[in-house]
């Protein structure tokens, strides 16, 4: 039996990963941050809840941008104690402990009074990681006020032909090498799509074996950017699988249906991460990386023209129907 994902384990390096220009998160997370800002501003939220807040990067960004909304208070919940510990440290350093409450809590088992929040949001595809996503949507529905808003992202089912890629391990990406306590092994992530799921396998590969050398060789032949979105030839890794994680991919009708079933009207679905597709060209890449936030704003404005099928992430916004 292969173990599933443990968010505690990646907590210490999470922020470093999402702020690394070569990580896909660097681009689409900022678009989602901006969409969350828009969502909260539109309803002039006073009480907002972030589900699966991790290290609270999104909430802290939102509080910084919405500094003028003095009454806004955010509650961030996450099931990983380690993530919350880091989030609390950061909130203290940012001087916003009055404006944010961070708690270790299962997002499907919220214990807030009914109709408590003006807005609920999430960044990081929490719905895609849950076995019973409806439970989360129902919990969110009951914690939201009537006419309250929700916005969260899910991983979309990719178009044909973009179904296989490999993440290089940090150590194998020689330009971003890190010291590791266990130097006799390297970790390699293999990511591929099978039906409605994205499968993420983490392998341990012993150094100086034939497989290690083959992997190193194939990684060196790949462009040095966006490890998550390139498609090297299929490579069956003959190594110990340490963890295997299944992440649910949604089509637009599926996620719309899930929202409606939980009692939300879907107001708009945005695509995020389109710009990642521009980054194969080196000149464009350095330009986009330098002006990431502007590109995220352009991406939001141009959403009406883009085809959601080509988005890396979908951000779905909805409104709790009023009882009358």
Ligand X SMILES: C[S@@+](CC[C@H](N)C(=O)[O-])C[C@H]1O[C@@H](n2cnc3c(N)ncnc32)[C@H](O)[C@@H]1O
Chain residues binding ligand X by CB under 6 A are: 7, 18, 29, 52-55, 57-58, 77-80, 83, 106-108, 123-126, 129-130
Contact 143, 112 (CB under 8 A): yes
* CB-based contact 165:230 (threshold 8 Å): yes
Q: How far is the CB of 320 from ligand X (least distance, A)?
A: 20
Distance CA 14, CA 58 (A): 13
Q: Which is nearer to ligand X, 245 or 299 (CB)?
A: 245
Distance CA 284, CA 282 (A): 5
With b for 16 or more beta-carbon neighbours within 10 A and e for fewer, the 50-74 pattern comes to: bbbbbbbbbbbbbbeebeebeebbb
Closest CB 154 distance from ligand X, rounded Å: 12
Give whichever of 37 and 205 is closer to ligand X, judged by the CB atom: 37
DSSP class per residue in 256-307: HHHHHHTTEEEEEEEEE-GGGGGTTSHHHHHHHHHTHHHHHHHHHHGGGTS-
Backbone angles phi, psi at 163, to 5 degrees: -115, 10
Q: Based on CB atoms, which residue is closest to ligand X, 11 or 166? A: 11
CA distances from 129 to 81, 240, 242 (A): 17, 23, 18
* Least distance between ligand X and beta carbon 82 (Å): 9
Closest to ligand X by CB, 149 or 247: 247
Minimal distance, residue 138 CB to ligand X, in Å: 13
Would you say 108 or 303 has its CB closer to ligand X? 108
Q: Please, which residues have CB within 8 angstroms of residue 148's CB and are 6 or more apart in sequence?
A: 43, 115, 117, 118, 119, 120, 319, 320
Measured from the CB atom, is 185 or 189 closer to ligand X? Answer: 189
| Shortest Å distance, C-beta 170 to ligand X | 17
Instruction: Report d(CA 82, CA 2) in Å as an integer.
Output: 22
How many CB atoms are located within 10 Å of the residue 259 CB? 24
| Shortest separation between residue 291's beta carbon and ligand X, angstroms | 22
Q: In sequence order, what are the residues at sequence separation of 6 or more whose Cβ sits closer than 8 angstroms to the Cβ of residue 282?
A: none
Nearer to ligand X, 17 or 174 (CB): 17
Q: How far is the CB of 155 from ligand X (least distance, A)?
A: 10
């Amino acid at each position: 039996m292969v173990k599933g994902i443990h968010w505690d384990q990646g907590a210490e390096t999470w922020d470093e990963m999402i702020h690394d220009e070569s990580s896909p998160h660097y681009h689409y997370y900022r678009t989602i941050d901006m969409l969350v800002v828009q969502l909260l501003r539109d309803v002039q939220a006073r009480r907002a809840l972030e589900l699966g807040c991790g290290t609270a990067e999104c909430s802290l960004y939102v509080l910084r941008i919405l500094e003028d909304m003095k009454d806004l208070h955010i509650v961030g919940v996450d099931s990983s104690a380690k993530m919350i510990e880091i989030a609390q440290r950061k909130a203290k350093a940012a001087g916003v402990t009055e404006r944010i409450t961070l708690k270790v809590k299962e997002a499907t088992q919220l214990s807030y009074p009914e109709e408590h929040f003006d807005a609920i949001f999430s960044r990081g595809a929490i719905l895609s990681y849950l076995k019973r996503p409806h439970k989360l949507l129902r919990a969110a529905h009951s914690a939201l006020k009537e006419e309250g808003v929700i916005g969260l992202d899910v991983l979309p089912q990719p178009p044909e032909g973009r179904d296989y890629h490999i993440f290089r391990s940090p150590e194998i990406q020689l330009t971003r090498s890190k010291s590791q306590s266990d130097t006799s092994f390297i970790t390699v992530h293999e990511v591929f799509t099978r039906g409605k799921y994205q499968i993420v396998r983490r392998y341990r590969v012993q150094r100086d074996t034939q497989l290690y050398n083959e992997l190193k060789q194939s990684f060196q032949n790949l462009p040095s950017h966006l490890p998550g979105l390139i498609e090297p030839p299929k490579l069956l890794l003959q190594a110990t699988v340490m963890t295997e994680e299944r992440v649910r991919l949604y089509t637009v009708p599926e996620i719309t249906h899930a929202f409606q079933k939980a009692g939300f009207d879907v107001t708009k679905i945005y695509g995020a991460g389109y710009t990642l597709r521009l980054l194969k060209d080196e000149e464009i890449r350095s330009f986009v990386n330098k002006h990431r936030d502007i590109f995220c704003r352009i991406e939001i404005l141009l959403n009406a023209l883009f085809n959601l099928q080509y988005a890396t992430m979908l951000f779905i916004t909805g409104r709790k129907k009023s009882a009358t």
